[in-house]
Amino acid sequence: METLTDSPSAAARLLHLLSLFSARPRWSATELAERLGVTTRTVRRDVAALRDLGYPIESDAGRTGGYHLGVGGRLPPLLLTDDEAVAVAVGLRTTTVRGLTGYGDAAVSALAKLDQVLPPVLRDRVAALHSSTIVVDRAPGPSVDPDVLLEIARGCRSHQLVRFRYTDGEGATTERRVEPYGLVNAERRWYVVCFDLGRDDWRTFRADRMSDVEVTGHGFVARDEPDTEAMVLHAIASYPYAAQAEVVLDLPFDLARQEVHRSMGTLTPTEDGRRAHLRIGADDHAWIARYLVSLECSFEVVAPDELRDELRRLGDELVARFT
């Protein structure tokens, strides 16, 4: 037996009904029937179908009656004009590049869905607007091409292999072919978590160092996925920076984990369990010194002497500035 939502015309009518509720908060049954070209009885059936699908269509009390879309439930489909679609896509692209805290992953996911259904003429308008737009940021992270993120997101969603060129920190370029599993935004940078077929191991790559990214069209069977966030944060914390240091924080290990972000370094409890041992790296010891004095605890430098010298210099500078 054919149900209401089995009919293409019925499905189109439900979408039209949702768009009416999005455009205006309240409608009478008679108004909806006129707009949809059906009877009020059919309107009642359509409303019941939407309720079954999880949309909170509520009835209005009174002689004339009516309906309105309640709070909560599922977000109704959005029917956008061409200009609205372009505006949303440009905004999402800007968010992916600037790494809006807490929304970067969602922006990439939404942009991937929107980009998939945009007509070519609108996709060209989005690309033109984005390429001619400059966003000024006081503390910018590395610039990332949104198309790189889109291709990676496509590969993750469809379980297809991705190939790209990667330039490491020393300037060496290699060709990579990977199984992509996730995108992580951390420390104002985008990272790709994947299984590198050429290295036969899990890897993390900075998206701003990737180029010529392409989904190959060849599928793969997903492996047991790692904790992508933990993998990226560990890679950041254990990166072989030019300056390395070891300190003991005057905090119990559990409190130290709350004070020091996982991307800052590697924490382990001391033998007596009363304090925490921190291994930390950076481009120079001056940065490590400034970071340590920003912590809300005392600490003891284990090594190296260069860090002790930087802390003395920083202390002298602060005394001279504020006395």
The string of pLDDT tens digits covering residues 178-227 is 999 998 888 778 899 999 999 999 999 999 999 999 999 999 999 998 89
Q: Of 41 and 15, which is predicted with more confidence?
A: 41
Mark whether 52 and 101 lie in a shared domain.
Answer: no
Among 188-192, 240-244, 292-296, which stretch is predicted with the lowest mean pLDDT?
Answer: 188-192
The CA-atom distances, in angstroms, between 156 and each of 97, 146, 177, 179 are 19, 15, 13, 8
308 inside domain: yes
Cα 194 vs. chain centroid, distance in angstroms?
Answer: 16
Determine the average pLDDT of the residues in 118-139.
65
Mark whether 92 and 205 lie in a shared domain.
Answer: yes
Q: Of 289 and 98, which is predicted with more confidence?
A: 289
Mark whether 165 and 283 lie in a shared domain.
Answer: no
Tell me what pLDDT residue 135 has: 53
233 inside domain: no
Mark whether 313 and 285 lie in a shared domain.
Answer: yes
**pLDDT over 80 at 117, yes or no:** no
Mark whether 203 and 249 lie in a shared domain.
Answer: no
**Could you give the CA distance from residue 254 to residue 94 in angstroms, rounded to a whole number?**
37
309 inside domain: yes
**pLDDT over 50 at 39, yes or no:** yes
Q: How confident is the model at residue 2 (pLDDT cuts 50, 70, 90)?
A: very low
- Residue that terminates a domain, selected from 181, 202, 226: 226
Tell me what pLDDT residue 1 has: 32
Among 35-44, 55-64, 267-276, which stretch is predicted with the lowest mean pLDDT?
Answer: 55-64
- Residue that terminates a domain, selected from 204, 226, 248: 226
**pLDDT over 50 at 3, yes or no:** no
Q: Of 250 and 141, which is predicted with more confidence?
A: 250
**265-269 and 243-249 beta bridge pairing:** unpaired
Q: What is the mean pLDDT of the chain?
A: 83
Mark whether 258 and 210 lie in a shared domain.
Answer: no
- Residue that terminates a domain, selected from 173, 203, 226: 226
**Could you give the CA distance from residue 62 to residue 124 in angstroms, rounded to a whole number?**
50
How many domains in the chain?
Answer: 3
Copy the structure tokens of residue 38: 């059906």
Copy the structure tokens of residue 204: 């993390």
Q: Is 213 exposed, middle or buried (0-12, 13-18, 19+ CB in 10 A)?
A: buried
Residue whose entry in the numeric block shows the structure tokens 């291709």: 151
Tell me what pLDDT residue 16 has: 84
Tell me what pLDDT residue 306 has: 96
Tell me what pLDDT residue 8 has: 45
Tell me what pLDDT residue 71 has: 65
75 inside domain: no
Among 92-96, 218-222, 279-283, 303-307, which stretch is predicted with the lowest mean pLDDT?
Answer: 92-96
Mark whether 49 and 86 lie in a shared domain.
Answer: no
Tell me what pLDDT residue 297 has: 94
The number of residues making up the chain comes to 323
Q: How confident is the model at residue 239 (pLDDT cuts 50, 70, 90)?
A: confident
Cβ neighbours for 34, distance < 8 A, ≥ 6 positions apart: none
Mark whether 152 and 278 lie in a shared domain.
Answer: no
Tell me what pLDDT residue 138 has: 45
Copy the structure tokens of residue 302: 């284990």
Tell me what pLDDT residue 286 has: 95
- Model confidence pLDDT, tens digit, residues 102-114: 556 677 777 777 7
Determine the average pLDDT of the residues in 39-53.
89
Quick one: CA dihedral 253, 255, 256, 261, positive or negative? positive
Q: Which domain holds residue 171?
A: 80-226
